[in-house]
Structure 1
């Protein structure tokens, strides 16, 4: 699935979706690590973070896959739609800004992450 196809799917969501979490995880594979801290190489057991449900998980994803970008804003407008804004650059000299909007804040952030990553 391409970034644009996944963005379109995210834009249709009204609630978190584990299937979409897995699709995002396949684009950005999570680190394979045991609870004791040791690495493993098995591909048949991967825990995909719930990035469409958890703002913390989506923020962690942004930090991992978009070095040099910052989450500038996550907020809600009068229609109760959530918006996320991420920026690349420093201080006020931003070279790129990406936005996402959705009924769930984590989904809005995922949309912005995918837009930013696809445009790199």
Structure 2
């Protein structure tokens, strides 16, 4: 049998783990640009150097998006877990009064007439 639903605690925990990973993305744009600059300086010939400079310029914004995406992912996963927990509480409150109506003794057979 398959399960449907969300484990809110697991989602919040996963969001925290994603946050830890996202922290490692901080400064990725600067690190990327530094690596490209080093490659540029070590390139022996002018045409190769200009290729590195162009590559760095073209891709530094993509590194910034990677960093922003990682930071947003963490918050989104945690928010999803919190929303699932709120929904569970609301459903629990809405159906709390009918629990006794749904209980029945399965060992007791009611004769059919």
Q: What interval of TM-score do these two structures reach, taking the shorter chain for normalisation?
A: under 0.3
TM-score normalized by the length of structure 2: 0.23
Greater helix share, structure number: 2
Select the structure of larger CA radius of gyration: 2
Choose between structure 1 and 2: higher strand proportion: 1
Where relative contact order (Cα < 8 A, 6+ residues apart) is larger, the structure is 2
